[in-house]
């Protein structure tokens, strides 16, 4: 069984749903800003996550929060916590 202490240290990411065509799976794009090492300008970087959506609630364009979990399939390591907007 998981303890309450273990759940506190899970990574959470907020991103935008880019695809919901798979069954019980959504693709979430999370954007972050990174400073360029040489020029100092901030550049946008996008990371794509596959997350488990048990009830198929999320649709394209929704802002969602996903949290790290055990491996669910080959690519899925995240699951949907809530739809922010």
| Residues 6 or more apart whose Cβ sits within 8 Å of residue 62 | 16, 17, 83, 84, 85
Q: pLDDT tens, 44-83? A: 999 999 999 999 999 999 999 999 999 999 999 999 999 9
Q: pTM for the complete prediction?
A: 0.84
Q: Domain limits at 66?
A: 4-83
pLDDT of residue 50: 98
Mean pLDDT for the stretch of residues 2-17: 80
Q: Using CB atoms within 10 A of its CB, is residue 17 exposed (0-12), middle (13-18) or buried (19+)?
A: buried
Where is average pLDDT lowest: 7-16, 20-29, 75-84? 7-16
CATH code, domain carrying 58: 2.40.50.140
pLDDT of residue 2: 54
The total number of structural domains in the chain stands at 1
pLDDT of residue 38: 97
């Amino acid at each position: 069984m998981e303890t309450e202490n273990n759940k506190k240290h899970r990574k959470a990411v907020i991103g935008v749903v880019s695809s919901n065509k798979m069954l019980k799976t959504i693709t979430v794009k999370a954007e972050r800003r990174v400073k360029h090492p040489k020029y100092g300008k901030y550049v946008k970087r996008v990371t794509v996550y596959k997350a488990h959506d048990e009830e198929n609630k999320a649709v394209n364009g929704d802002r969602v929060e996903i949290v790290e979990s055990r491996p669910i399939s080959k690519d899925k390591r995240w699951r949907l916590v809530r739809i922010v907007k």
